[in-house]
Amino acid sequence: MLIEPHASRPRTAAGFAPTIRLVQVDAAELFAGFAIADLRALIADQRVEWFVGPDAGVALRDRLLDRPSEFRPGPYVPLTTLTAPAANPSVPEVLHAARVQADETTRTQCARVEAIYAPRDAAWWVARWSEIRAGTAEPMRVLLATSRFTTYVRHATRDLADAFESAGASVRVIEERSDHSVLSAGEYCEAIAEHDPDLIVAANYPRWKLSSVVPENVPFVCWVQDAMPHMYEADAGRRVSPMELLVGTITSDMLARHGYPPEQCIAMPVAASERKFHRGAVCHRLRERFTCDVAYISNQSESPDRTHDRLMREASASTDVVRTLVALRPHIGRIAKHSDTEWGWTSLRSAILISEEEAGTTLDPITREHLVRHYGVIMLDRTLRHQTLHWAAEICRRRGWSLGIFGAGWDGTAAFAPYARGHLDHGEEARSAYACAGVHLHVSANTIVHQRVMECALAGGLAISRLTADTLAGVRQHASFIARDLDRPIRRQARSESGCSWASHPTLMQAATQLQKCGFAIDEGCWLRDGKWEGLGAHAERAIGLRFHAGWLMGDLAETTFTDAATLEARIERALTRPEWRDNVSRGVSGRVCTSLTHDSMVDTIMITMAERLHTAAKAASSQSANIVAA
């Protein structure tokens, strides 16, 4: 009874393991049970809580009622073969009382929040923010919501909190209290009521998704970092509230297909901390630990095969989905093989359709797109990463270069355990690793404009990246966006496209150069599909941030990227044998990051844009009131 639920709910890949509580009145009977099996690992597991003895029921009650806002009901499984009497109070009685008190606590906290914010309309916030900026009021209070069950999002939120504090704000960060808990509505409301924030920032969740705990009339920022399914619901964009901004990875689809207002969107695909990552000296101890010729930092140690098995288990509720994924698996390797010349996302969408035919299944469009994003891209990314590491390991063995692989789990892999150097704290350890390696490897199916690439440059290191067709897409997209506002005299009727000469604008000339040097042929014009980028308004460029592409960040992609083992070896050799070139490229990347993609610049952008948004919301509310009075 204890082993089975413990084994069936193991710690997830993100680190969450639900609490298991055992209640036993008779300690002798419990110890008799212990004699049946070896439970040492289970007993040592911190998520298992024990309530043993005549007062077990009282102890459980006190534990659950101590912090009612944290209580989350779960299944109760009684063992009917016990000879000892039931706990007093009984477990069902305790659970019922805890649920009642948790609900009442949540209602009380939500009412408290409503009472605080109900009188604060947009005009009130305009006055409050004006006083903050003028320094005539108490400092701004900011509440940031994150999750401990992430890698990047959690420490990125902490870095953003640090930037807000440096700007003079009073900051509070909320997340799960332990690896065994989930943030409840009561905890959200409690934090809001206690901190009384002037701004709430939540990673990946817009206000409408948190409507049960976040009041409508408080300035709110959704920090978009991942392609969460709810962000792409049909009417998601129309749910954005007047005093809300979306900052982060904003796609054109979000504006064109899902109705997100461009004037409330700000593209900052990723941000880095220039205070945490800098070019200062590295102490001798850390330099000894992290010095190597080639380094790779990632927690993605799970092999592609194991990743496939895990994703299959997660999809096991649908037989059609499982059969489709079984058919899709072989296509991933083919797509990875041609990733430098074929668009990964396009290939994955085509492969899904082929896999449905092979498996004899028919999926709806929403499920199909979900599998592309949450199976196909994950598998392609993992395949590219591990393939690159196999190349690097073979190259370093042959050339006598040292290879260091940093992150969790690599010591448990057969192929890469000899190079595993353990987990890195996202701070001085990571900075030292960036600074002390001759060159770092970056691999992503999606982008080169990545946190690790930027942090590496800020710390004085250099990351060389695997080039895929998708990572070059940003160069092409930016060029086509510029072409939107140019004369396009060339027509391709068969494709419903118009175009202009690559020489008609400096940005187009730069894009053409990048594409040609990376082996992508360009034809007579920079083409724009009819209707693309239309109707997005004057704010579209700021909203989708097309200028933040790989070429903008890295400079010459032909010198800083690789596509196969041979070009990887050549790039490593150049970085190791030409330190002045390495330092020059690193400083160029670092300079561009500092101007646009740090947490400090994000705070400045949020403050300026939110102040403008509040003025707009106040004007709209005033006009609406005037119209009502006139009517």
β-pair partners for 201: 144, 221
Alpha helix stretches (DSSP H) within 210-339: 252-256, 284-290, 304-314, 319-337
Distances from the Cα of 27 to the Cα of 31, 38, 50, 55, 82, angstroms:
6, 17, 11, 11, 12
316 pLDDT tier (thresholds 50, 70, 90): confident
- Complete DSSP assignment for 161-177: HHHHHHTT-EEEEE--S
Question: Does position 185 have pLDDT exceeding 90, yes or no?
Answer: no
Q: Is residue 18's pLDDT more than 70?
A: yes
Say what the pTM is: 0.81
Percent of the chain with pLDDT over 70: 98
Give the full edge-to-edge strand order of the sheet including 526-529.
490-492, 497-500, 526-529
- Please, what are the domains in the chain? 3-102 (no CATH), 119-271+601-630 (3.40.50.280), 284-467+563-597 (3.40.50), 470-554 (no CATH)
The length of the chain is 631
Answer yes or no: is pLDDT of 458 > 90.
yes
Q: Chain-wide mean pLDDT for the chain?
A: 91
Q: Are 468 and 387 in contact (CB under 8 A)?
A: no
The average pLDDT across 450-457 equals 95
Nearest Cα neighbor of 431 from 588, 565, 273 is 273
**Residue 386: its H or E element:** helix 377-399
Q: What is the pLDDT of residues 418-448, one digit of tens each?
A: 999 999 998 999 999 999 999 999 999 989 9
pLDDT, residue 153, reads 84
State which of 8-17, 52-61, 151-160 shows the largest mean pLDDT: 52-61
Q: What is the structure's pLDDT at 629?
A: 55
If one compares 459 and 147, the residue with the highest pLDDT of the two is 459
Q: Write down the pLDDT at residue 12.
A: 76
